[in-house]
C-alpha cells in the first residue's frame, strides 16, 4: 500500500510525512485588517497598562477596555474568515 502523504527529502531513504499546520495567508482575505487590529490592540494594551500604573487607574482601565474592543473585532474577523 502506497502512502501519498510522504515527502522525499532527497537525502537517501529518509522520508517524512507532509504536515499542514497553518493555512496559507494568501487565502485569508482579512489577513491585513486582522494584523492591523492586533497591532492596535497590542499598542493600546501597553499604553493602557502604563496609564493604569503611572497615572490614573480609571483612565487606564478605559484605555485597556478600548484595546480589548479591537481584539474582539479581530476575533470576529477570524471566525468569519471563510
Overall residue count recorded for the chain in this entry: 82
Cell of 80: 468569519
- 44-67 confidence digits (pLDDT tens): 999 999 999 999 999 999 999 999
Cite the DSSP H helix spans in the chain.
31-54, 57-79
- 17-43 confidence digits (pLDDT tens): 777 766 655 567 788 899 999 999 999
- For the question of whether the overall pTM of this predicted structure is more than 0.75, the answer is no
Amino acid at each position: 500500500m502506497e502512502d501519498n502523504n510522504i515527502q522525499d527529502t532527497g537525502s537517501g531513504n529518509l522520508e517524512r510525512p507532509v504536515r499542514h499546520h497553518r493555512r496559507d495567508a494568501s487565502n485569508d482575505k482579512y489577513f491585513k485588517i486582522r494584523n492591523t487590529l492586533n497591532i492596535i490592540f497590542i499598542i493600546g494594551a501597553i499604553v493602557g497598562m502604563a496609564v493604569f500604573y503611572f497615572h490614573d487607574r480609571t483612565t487606564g482601565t478605559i484605555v485597556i477596555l478600548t484595546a480589548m474592543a479591537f481584539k474582539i473585532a479581530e476575533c470576529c474577523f477570524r471566525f468569519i474568515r471563510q
